[in-house]
């Protein structure tokens, strides 16, 4: 039998019709790849909101947003008389709530539209407002203290609820001489409030119902003030009691929301005005400052599973702005190196390794480190005490980028869009 002869290249060439079809198919495929690439590049990044004020003109103050690339800077809110509080994003990233002069509450859309004053507070001594979005993204709760705890007249502590377009409604109020000696702490979903009254820990629903006393009155009277912090899973409450005077002691208690005491320990304390305890994202650990000699601190971690605490830092220092990464793997904080330099550090909890992210940035002051939602980047403020700029950096210390280049400005409270 005669073997078939191999075909020549001319014999295997596509016909003009087939070649045209193949060309169109390849062209379509190339266009599709380009389209996917363009779409991937055009996916909007999470914005960073921050406040900015002029050191030369107090009336030049506003809230801005900017991309972590440094592009698309927008002025969301222009000059309003009074200092701005930290912008607070709703969980869906569509709206921002903020305070003005610690008296008024505003809400604005993420693009700067629909700015509205939602609450106008009366003037009082030492006012303070704390905001908390509810998980439905429609309601905003806020606590308000008036006249403080050091005033010569009894102050008051209350909370309000803004529901959609309805006027702000006062839900609950108590004079400070009626035994309340703590902050009002909102749960992560904004649906419950906790506080210390007459040395007992309480919780209550955001609508004012369901008041529950979680612990009996404390028998130790040396503690003058308490701070309350909910765990992210809303199942536990940390209570920090502070002793004033020479005692300088803080007692930390972890209480379940059914009243069961999970852990309690004491450590050398610091001034109660400094926020000094944060929860891990999985609600199984807390990190806090431990006072050492010469008013320096160390950072400690307490594990609820093992019921043990350990030092995370090797030597005492001026640590501040302690914050946990959303993935739970790292802590970030600032450390005063010397009078002319502050550094931003991260601590890898798996390997217990410290890293100075800002060795190349010789800044007198670094403040407000804030993690991106994916834990890959940190934004922070760096500069001098009277003027600064906004920066972003990768968690491994690479990619340092200055986002703003303003002169004579003071930037504060950068927060990532959820």
Q: Which two tokens stand for residue 34?
A: 């380009």
103-118 residue pLDDT tens: 999 999 999 999 999 9
pLDDT at res. 18: 54
In terms of C-beta density within 10 A (0-12 exposed, 13-18 middle, 19 or more buried), how is residue 156 classed?
middle
Quote the mean pLDDT of the chain.
Answer: 86
With 80 as the cut, is the pLDDT of residue 219 above it?
A: yes
Confidence of residue 200 (pLDDT cuts 50, 70, 90): very high
Specify whether the CB–CB gap between 267 and 260 falls below 8 A: no
Least confident span in 41-55, 76-90, 105-119, 395-409 = 41-55
* More confident call, 233 vs 387: 233
Sole residue written with tokens 């209570």? 239
Least confident span in 148-152, 207-211, 395-399 = 148-152
With 90 as the cut, is the pLDDT of residue 7 above it?
A: no
pLDDT at res. 16: 53
* More confident call, 104 vs 386: 104
């Amino acid at each position: 039998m005669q073997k078939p002869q191999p075909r020549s290249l001319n014999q295997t060439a596509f016909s003009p019709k087939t070649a045209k079809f193949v060309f169109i198919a390849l062209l379509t495929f190339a266009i599709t790849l380009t389209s996917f690439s363009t779409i991937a590049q055009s996916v909007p990044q999470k914005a960073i909101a921050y406040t900015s004020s002029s050191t030369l003109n107090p009336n030049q103050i506003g809230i801005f947003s900017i991309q972590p690339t440094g592009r698309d800077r927008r002025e969301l809110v222009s000059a309003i008389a009074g200092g701005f509080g930290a912008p607070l994003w709703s969980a869906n990233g569509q709206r921002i709530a903020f305070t003005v002069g610690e008296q008024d509450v505003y809400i604005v859309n993420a693009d700067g539209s629909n700015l509205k004053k939602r609450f106008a507070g009366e003037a009082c001594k030492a006012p303070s407002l704390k905001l908390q979005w509810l998980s439905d993204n429609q309601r905003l709760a806020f606590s308000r203290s008036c006249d403080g705890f050091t005033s010569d007249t009894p102050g008051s502590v209350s909370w309000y609820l803004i529901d959609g377009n309805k006027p702000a409604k006062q839900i609950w109020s108590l004079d400070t001489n009626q035994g309340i000696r703590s902050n009002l702490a909102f749960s992560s979903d904004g649906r419950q409030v906790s506080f210390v009254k007459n040395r007992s820990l309480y919780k209550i629903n955001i609508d004012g119902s369901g008041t529950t006393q979680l612990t009996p009155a404390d028998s130790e009277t040396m503690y003058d003030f308490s701070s309350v912090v909910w765990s992210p899973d809303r199942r536990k409450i940390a209570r920090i009691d502070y002793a004033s005077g020479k005692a300088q002691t803080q007692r930390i208690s972890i209480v379940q929301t059914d009243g069961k005491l999970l852990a309690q320990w004491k450590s050398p304390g610091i001034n109660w005005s400094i926020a000094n305890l944060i929860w891990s994202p999985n609600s199984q650990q807390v990190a806090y400052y431990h006072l050492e000699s010469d008013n320096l601190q160390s950072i400690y971690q307490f594990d609820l599973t093992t019921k043990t605490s350990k030092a995370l830092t090797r030597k005492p220092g001026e640590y501040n702005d302690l914050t946990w990464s959303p993935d739970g793997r790292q802590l970030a904080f600032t450390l005063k190196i010397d009078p002319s330099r502050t550094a931003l550090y991260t601590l890898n909890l798996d390997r217990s390794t410290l890293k100075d992210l800002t060795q190349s940035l010789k800044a007198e002051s670094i403040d407000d480190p804030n993690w991106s939602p994916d834990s890959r980047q940190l934004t922070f403020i760096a500069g001098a005490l009277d003027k600064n700029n906004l920066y972003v950096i990768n968690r491994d210390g690479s990619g340092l980028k200055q986002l703003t280049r303003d002169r004579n400005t003071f930037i504060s409270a950068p927060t990532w869009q959820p």
